[in-house]
């Protein structure tokens, strides 16, 4: 019966992501989230860019979920 020899196991190392590659995406998604927060929280409430109630009706449930008053 042959005896199995132990093989050294490879150690997993985390991938290194430079901040210069992440920063443009972080700024983009941050701006996108601020735009979404504006539409949910302020559009057709205290301020309005678009006339009518269309945007308000689309984000109405989101306003209540995030505790923004709307009526």
Read off the pLDDT of each residue in 43-70 and give the average, rounded to a whole number.
74
What is the CB neighbour count within 10 angstroms for residue 41? Answer: 18
pTM of the complete model: 0.57
Read off the pLDDT of each residue in 29-57 and give the average, rounded to a whole number.
79
Q: How far apart are CA 63 and CA 69, in angstroms?
A: 7
Of the two residues 6 and 67, the one the predictor is more confident about is 67
Backbone angles phi, psi at 65, to 5 degrees: -65, -40
pLDDT tens per residue, range 11-35 = 888 888 888 999 999 999 999 999 8
Which residues have a Cβ under 8 Å from the Cβ of 56 and sit 6 or more positions away? 43, 44, 45, 70
pLDDT band of residue 42 (cuts 50, 70, 90) is confident
């Amino acid at each position: 019966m042959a005896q199995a020899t132990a093989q050294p196991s490879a150690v997993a190392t985390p991938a290194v992501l430079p901040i210069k590659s992440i920063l443009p995406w972080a700024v983009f998604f941050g701006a996108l989230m601020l735009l979404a927060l504006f539409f949910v929280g302020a559009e057709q409430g205290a301020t309005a860019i678009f006339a009518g109630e269309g945007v308000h009706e689309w984000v109405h449930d989101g306003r209540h979920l995030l505790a923004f008053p709307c009526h």
